[in-house]
Structure 1
Amino acid sequence: MKIKNIAATAISVFGAAIFLDSLRYKFTDHPKTQVIFGALDGWASSLGLPGLFAHTGLFSQYVIGSAELLASTLLIVGLLPRLQRLNALGAMIAFAVMAGAVSFHLFTPLGIDPNHDGGGLFAAAVTLLTGSVVLIGLRLPDILGLLGDLRRVFVADAPMSPEPTPMTQAAM
């Protein structure tokens, strides 16, 4: 049990540190960010989706950066024992963001070394993707609890034997 908590803490802190470090590039419109999102937007334009990764696009650096900020916040705040479900939610957001990042590096012209850093950015994305999968596994009970909470909020439980309403009594 103790190893599980240490592993979850280490993965959460590492993931939050990676995300928070990347924000200085995304939120300041750094040239390295312009290269990456510009290449992705050029690729999307060739598919008939211009602007998808542009500054105001659905997957702009600001949208992705905001998701990373949210994930890092949930990963850290969720380390408090009473807020563990938030850690699980942070892990799921981290997984979604990093699955997208790794996919775009592998399956678009972006490649694994767009900034000529020896693939360090790609390696960090793969490491964080792997860590988020492990963290999701460690937090599976919390994820199931979150799903149960959402079910209670959005799905009304039907009574076992409903009382007849005036409409159904008239039909009898």
Structure 2
Amino acid sequence: MNFGKILFFFKLGVAIIFLQTLFFKFNAAEESIFIFTRLGVEPWGRIAMGILELMIVIFLFIPFLVWLGALFGIGSMMGAILAHIFVIGINVANDHGLLFVLAIVNFLGCSYILYSEKENLLMNMQWLFKRK
């Protein structure tokens, strides 16, 4: 199995997790409403996170935006992990920590994707700063 296939499966796995949680956010599932109410940002925070997660999934499959999707994914999952640790708890609505584990898995997956896209990230950063 070559590197390109491994990276594709990482992207696919991360995307599936984001799409699954996105479904619950946009359908106003009780668990999502509970989480974002505890964070004090219901309903707009839930909807905004859903939009961000949809953008992440789309960016992961656009070759020149993969790095941006991975970067946004790392940021959103870091927020989710910290929210679980400091505000909502690890076990949310008797899920036995499943959402917390999914956040960690996606954080690690996005980190790997970003690492594998480091050349594209550096090229884009150079291009950004040369535009001045």
Q: Show the counterpart of 2:53.
A: 68
Q: Percent identity?
A: 25
The structure whose residues are more often helix, as a share, is: 2
Q: Distance in 2 between matches of 1:29 and 1:23?
A: 10
Instruction: For structure 2, list consecutive stretches of 5 or more residues without a partner in the other structure.
Output: none
Q: What is the DSSP-based 3-state SS (H/G/I as helix, E as strand, rest coil) of the residue aligned with 2:94? A: coil
Mapped contact 2:67–2:113 kept (Cα < 8 A): yes
Q: Show the counterpart of 1:100.
A: 79
Q: Once the 2 structures are TM-superposed, how far is the Cα of residue 112 of structure 1 from its aligned partner?
A: 0.9
Q: Distance in 1 between matches of 2:49 and 2:31?
A: 15
**Considering only aligned residues, what root-mean-square deviation do their CA atoms show, in Å?**
1.3
Mapped contact 2:31–2:93 kept (Cα < 8 A): yes
Q: How does 1:1-172 map to 2 (within 5 A)?
A: 3-41=2-40, 53-56=41-44, 60-76=45-61, 78=62, 83=63, 85-108=64-87, 110-153=88-131, 155=132
Q: Distance in 2 between matches of 1:54 and 1:23?
A: 15
Letter in 1 for 2:112: V
Q: Once the 2 structures are TM-superposed, how far is the Cα of residue 28 of structure 1 from its aligned partner?
A: 1.5
Q: Distance in 2 between matches of 1:144 and 1:125?
A: 26
Q: Show the counterpart of 1:169.
A: none
Mapped contact 2:33–2:43 kept (Cα < 8 A): no
Q: Which has the larger radius of gyration?
A: 1
Query: What do residues 54-87 of structure 1 show as CA deviations (whole Å, max 9, x unaligned)?
Result: 223xxx00111111000001112x3xxxx2x311
How many residue pairs match? The answer is: 132
Q: Distance in 2 between matches of 1:37 and 1:132?
A: 23
TM-score by length of 2: 0.93
- Which gives a bigger RCO, structure 1 or 2 (Cα 8 Å, sep 6+)? 2
TM-score by length of 1: 0.72
Q: Distance in 2 between matches of 1:28 and 1:134?
A: 30
Q: Once the 2 structures are TM-superposed, how far is the Cα of residue 115 of structure 1 from its aligned partner?
A: 2.2
Mapped contact 1:4–1:138 kept (Cα < 8 A): no
